[in-house]
Amino acid sequence: MSDELIDRIEAPRKETGAILGHDSAIETLSEARASGRLAHAWLITGPAGIGKATLAWRFARRMLAPEDAGLPGNGIETDPSHPDVRKIMNGSHPDCRLIRRSMTQKSPYRFRTEISVEDVREAGTFLHHTAGQSAWRCLIVDTADQMNTNAQNALLKVLEEPPPRTLLLLAAHAPSRLLPTIRSRCRSLALRPLDNAEVAEVIARKTDTLAGDDLQIISDISDGSPGRALELAQAGGLDLYRELLALVEPLPGLDTERLHATSDKFAGAAGEASYRTFLEILKWWLLRHIREGATSRGQAALEPWLQAWEKIDELAGRADSVNLDRKQVVLNTFFELSAAARG
């Protein structure tokens, strides 16, 4: 497993900076804790990369650490230098467990595609043990919608008969994938995407390689997700965005030489990641173009762009399912954009 992958897995648990953009959710958790009527299970929802797991780990620290570890402020912050808090951050606290996709046992090491029933059963056994250090035991599932059906049924048994003083924190990008009976047994806490200024502040904490216009562009493209913004930056998203702007600038005309040169970069295994990032940024640009047009142009003028969106989305999906040539996918995508621009 690469160091970069390890860092990504451990980042939410180790995060210490102030949580931005989720004041309402923090207040809800703080008030629930103070009331003494804390729900035993919480379903924290929202788009990927906006801080669901970070919030879950932060609340787990507050629940498991003693009162003297608390910091003044929003009610869930703890002193990261406190020994108990450091154990949680290091993954060694006896009363806190994480359920996530496990790794394959043989090289090349990678995440499995789903959370298995074995992962959940092991954690369920942990919850029935006596707390080793704290008054509570805490189980975090990141992300819950990656559980297969058997794993969800195993977790449901825990939710139906939770041991005393246990707290389950489920982070989910797509809660509709969870069993209705799981959703009904959790208190829901929906997080919103961050605004551009908040995204930029989070990114600035994590890297000093982005500043000025670059920071603003990557924040804008991220659609309110600091995690996605960092992934885009690491995947060469800024260069791909500028390349996209150069290609759409002459619409309805096409710079065919440049278009072919760009498409050629996506060939082979080495070009797959850039291809997917480019298509993601292109869809973001097209959707923003349509939204802006909705306020300045009539429905008739928007119709060609809406049709282009549907065709491009279908083309991208079909490309994955039947392994279409990436260059042809990109070329056909710009043919659709050219047709939409002509009206």
Question: What is the C-alpha end-to-end distance of the chain, expressed in Å?
Answer: 50
> Chain-wide mean pLDDT for the chain?
91
Nearest to 39 by CA among 173, 150, 188, 149: 188
166 is written with which tokens? Answer: 């246990």
pLDDT score for 99: 94
pLDDT of residue 266: 95
pLDDT per residue as tens digits for the range 184-202: 999 999 999 999 999 999 9
Contact 188, 43 (CB under 8 A): yes
- Report pLDDT for 311: 95
For the cut 90, the answer to whether the pLDDT of residue 297 exceeds it is no
Query: How many Å separate Cα 66 from the centre of its chain?
Result: 30
Residue 341 has pLDDT above 50, yes or no: yes
**Domain 3-190 superfamily per CATH:** P-loop containing nucleotide triphosphate hydrolases (3.40.50.300)
Cα–Cα distance, 94 to 103 (Å, whole number):
22
pLDDT score recorded for residue 2: 46
How does pLDDT run across 152-166, given as a tens digit for each residue?
Answer: 999 999 999 999 999
Residue extents of the structural domains in the chain: 3-190, 235-342
Q: Identify the band that residue 6 occupies on the pLDDT scale cut at 50, 70 and 90.
A: very low
- Alpha carbons 99 and 114: distance in angstroms, whole number: 11
Looking at residues 17-45, what average pLDDT do you find? 95
Q: Is it true that the peptide bond before 304 is cis, omega within 30 degrees of 0?
A: no
Quote the pLDDT of residue 125: 86
Q: Is the pLDDT of residue 247 over 80?
A: yes
